[in-house]
Amino acid sequence: MSVPTLELNDGHRIPQLGFGVFKVDPAETERIVLDALEAGYRHIDTAAIYGNEQGVGAAIAASGIPREELFITTKLWNDRQAGDDPLAAIDESLDKLGLAQVDLYLTHWPAPANGHFVNAWTKLVEIRDAGKARSIGVSNHLPEHLDAIIEATGVTPAVDQIELHPAYQQREVTSYGARAGIAIEAWGPLGQGKYPLFDEEPVAQAAAAHGKTPAQVVLRWHLQQGYIVFPKSNRLERMRENIDVFDFELTTAQQDAITALERDGRVSAHPSEVN
Ligand code: NAD
């Protein structure tokens, strides 16, 4: 299974499809991530707040896969953005992961009411310059937040990781990303199982036409839009299904019909509400 890579604005490359571990039980993370690695995933998306970095690290160590073949992302939680605390937070994450460097480190949310996300970004730049993160980016940042951090530092994030699926496409953020060279990572790419994407007719029709599942069609839509995805599943058969999306292509008409499913269908929190 060969997953294509995309070039980020700092020249480093990222596998376009990975495995997310939000809500993966810390006690089960090592086994589940080992299953994902066995299924062929090489890009893992975790976060300090998920409480399972240690399990991800244990799986990396147990897998014996050379470090350079893996792409590991983690994230700075909102209560660690002030002062020099991000510098301590990355050291704690690296320690739990058992790594000297992550491939990508993100500010998890702007948490605007706290007023520290610009400081957090200046510290992520320091973390990158110290070699503890190869690339740096943000998550859940809206255009106003992106403007503020770029203006303060002159450094454009490599990625913005946002809730995005066919029913909630966040076009203001994606067009900002296209203009500024910020890659878009789509979290909740399957609508977190909360939005009935799989019953939508264009999804079901394309699945029948290609002999694929609705989940595979939705993931394929993301990939053809140019987004980076890391669907989550605890089940090996679904992990295999979700990475088995490189042997077919949606036609332009199928892609467009799925793009027309925009319904402002946000399933999770809004960036201005999370602090
Ligand atoms: P997702 O859209 O990947 O949905 C996961 C759910 O979809 C699973 O629990 C399962 O019930 C279902 N599912 C998975 N594969 C399926 C299949 N083949 N067929 C049918 N159902 C299937 O949602 P997610 O896990 O929230 O998002 C993916 C990743 O994005 C996370 O694991 C995490 O790494 C990241 N994330 C980031 C943020 C953020 O704020 N930055 C927030 C949420 C998630």
**Could you tell me the distance, in angstroms and rounded to a whole number, from the CA of residue 153 to the centre of ligand 1?**
32
Asked if 20 and 45 touch (Cβ cutoff 8 Å), the reply is: yes
Q: How far apart are CA 128 and CA 121, in angstroms?
A: 11
Q: Which residues line ligand 1 (CB under 6 A)?
A: 20-22, 45, 108, 139-140, 161, 187-193, 215, 230-233, 238, 241-242
Q: Is 136 exposed, middle or buried (0-12, 13-18, 19+ CB in 10 A)?
A: buried
Provide the CB-side half-sphere exposure for 220 (13 A, CA): 25
**CA-CA-CA-CA torsion for 28, 231, 76, 59, nearest 10 degrees?**
40
Q: How far apart are CA 138 and CA 157, in angstroms?
A: 6
Note if the pTM is more than 0.85: yes
**What integer pLDDT is reported at residue 2 of this predicted model?**
87
**pLDDT (tens place) for every residue of the chain, 275 residues total:** 689 999 999 999 999 999 999 999 999 999 999 999 999 999 999 999 999 999 999 999 999 999 999 999 999 999 999 999 999 999 999 999 999 999 999 999 999 999 999 999 999 999 999 999 999 999 999 999 999 999 999 999 999 999 999 999 999 999 999 999 999 999 999 999 888 999 999 999 999 999 999 999 999 999 999 999 999 999 999 999 999 999 999 999 999 999 999 999 999 999 999 98
What CATH superfamily is the domain 5-194+221-235? NADP-dependent oxidoreductase domain (3.20.20.100)
Q: How far apart are CA 224 and CA 10, in angstroms?
A: 22
Asked if 80 and 86 touch (Cβ cutoff 8 Å), the reply is: yes
**What integer pLDDT is reported at residue 1 of this predicted model?**
63
Asked if 76 and 104 touch (Cβ cutoff 8 Å), the reply is: no
**Could you tell me the distance, in angstroms and rounded to a whole number, from the CA of residue 113 to the centre of ligand 1?**
27
Parallel, antiparallel, or unpaired: how do β-strands 183-187 and 228-229 relate?
parallel
Which residues are marked as active site?
Answer: 50
- Domain borders along the chain are 5-194+221-235
